[in-house]
Amino acid sequence: MNRLEGKTALVTGAARGLGEAIARRFTEAGARVFINDLNLSAAQETAARLGGYGLAADVSSADSVAAMFAELWKQTDSLDILVNNAGISGLEGMNDIDQRMADMLSHAEKVAAGAPIDSIPGGTDSATDSDWQRMMSVHVDGTFHCSREALKRMYPAKSGNIINMGSIMGTLGRGGGTAYCTAKAAILGFTRALAHEAAPMNVRVNAIAPGWIATDMTDPMEAMHPMLKMQTPLARLGDVDDIAWAAVYLASEEAKFVTGQTLSPNGGWYMSQ
């Protein structure tokens, strides 16, 4: 069934992972898909594989996003669907991830056992300004920058659909991850406010809040996977299609009365959001 036949979509951070899976399912559902990522050749490689069009931009930069949309408008007059998916874990480029994971696991065991705690691994007391700001700028500014450019055409067209990538971390606080949790909580707040604003213009805005999904982002946290599976009622990490199908639903006419919502495929981690 071509649920997105004739639609045009832009998915950010789509060279791999959840964004790529969403772009693939959108394409199969009949949409013409534009694939953004930081690196043009990575975006173009994925686009060539899926039959889409690759666009480079760092979503955290307003200028970079404006330039990407200028290129997008050369290829299409309108945009029906924007998926603000680009994101970072904050672990990118770190060469001591295994040690960090081991420290976090041993910390969790100590807390559970009621043992004395001297320090918090990845704690807010040791966070740097630049790490904090990068987390906010990629997730929060990026979602704002791309939404703003898309709405410049969606509002006059009185039609559009925006899907923002949140996380269960946006509602669940998690020690050692305050920046990520704060950024994702902001995205959920932005989603609700924008949904309210955009409804009279027939633009729907929703969020997806994935649980733990197996991607390149969560691979480096492999040491934590057994614990995460144990804490998940469905006893596994999600796969990328668990999220991609949620995006297809929200983007389709089947969700025409759905706006301001957070859909959370999370294996039962949360029983409701």
Ligand X SMILES: NC(=O)c1ccc[n+]([C@@H]2O[C@H](COP(=O)([O-])OP(=O)(O)OC[C@H]3O[C@@H](n4cnc5c(N)ncnc54)[C@H](O)[C@@H]3O)[C@@H](O)[C@H]2O)c1
CA 110 to chain centre: 32
Shortest distance in whole angstroms from residue 215 CB to ligand X = 3
**Site pattern 250..269 for ligand X (x: CB under 6 A):** --------------------
Smallest distance from ligand X to CB 19, Å: 6
Interactions with ligand X, residue window 104-133 (CB under 6 A): none
37 binds ligand X (CB under 6 A): yes
Closest CB to ligand X among residues 4, 55: 55
Structure tokens at 226: 């057994």
Spot the catalytic one: 53, 180, 249, 270. 180
**Least distance CB 219 / ligand X (angstroms):** 8
In single-letter form, the type of residue at position 60 comes to: S
CB of 109: closest distance to ligand X in angstroms?
22
| Closest by CA position to 58, among listed 130, 163, 139 | 139
In terms of DSSP bridges, do strands 32-37 and 8-11 run parallel, antiparallel, or are they unpaired? parallel
Question: How far out from the chain centre does Cα 151 lie?
Answer: 19
Using CB under 6 A as the binding rule, whether residue 71 contacts ligand X is answered as no
Find the helix or strand (DSSP H, E) in which 207 lies.
strand 203-208
Give the x-and-dash track for 136-155 against ligand X (CB under 6 A): --x---x-------------
Query: 163 forms bridges with which residues in the sheet?
Result: 83, 206
Choose the binding region for ligand X from 57-65, 67-75, 125-133, 146-154 (rule: CB under 6 A).
Answer: 57-65
Burial class (CB in 10 A: 0-12, 13-18, 19+), 11: buried
72-101 footprint of ligand X as x/- string (CB under 6 A): -------------xxxx-------------
186 SS3 class: helix
**Contact partners, residue 93, CB within 8 Å, separation at least 6:** none
Angle at 87 between CA 83 and CA 92, to 5 degrees: 155
The reply on whether position 206 binds ligand X by CB under 6 A is no
Classify residue 92 as exposed, middle or buried by CB count within 10 Å of its CB (0-12, 13-18, 19+): exposed
Interacting residues of 259 by C-beta distance below 8 A, sequence separation 6+:
195, 198, 199, 204, 205, 206
- Which of 81, 213, 248, 255 touches ligand X (CB under 6 A)? 213
Q: Is 167 in the site for ligand X (CB under 6 A)?
A: yes
Task: Note if 155 is an active site residue.
Answer: no
CB of residue 173 vs ligand X: minimum separation in angstroms? Answer: 15
Q: Minimal distance in Å, beta carbon 72 to ligand X?
A: 14
Identified binder of ligand X from the candidate list 182, 212, 251, 259, rule CB under 6 A: 212
Residues in the chain, overall count: 273
Give the residues lining the site for ligand X (CB under 6 A).
12-13, 15-19, 36-38, 58-60, 85-88, 138, 142, 165, 167, 210, 212-213, 215-218
Residues annotated as part of the active site:
180
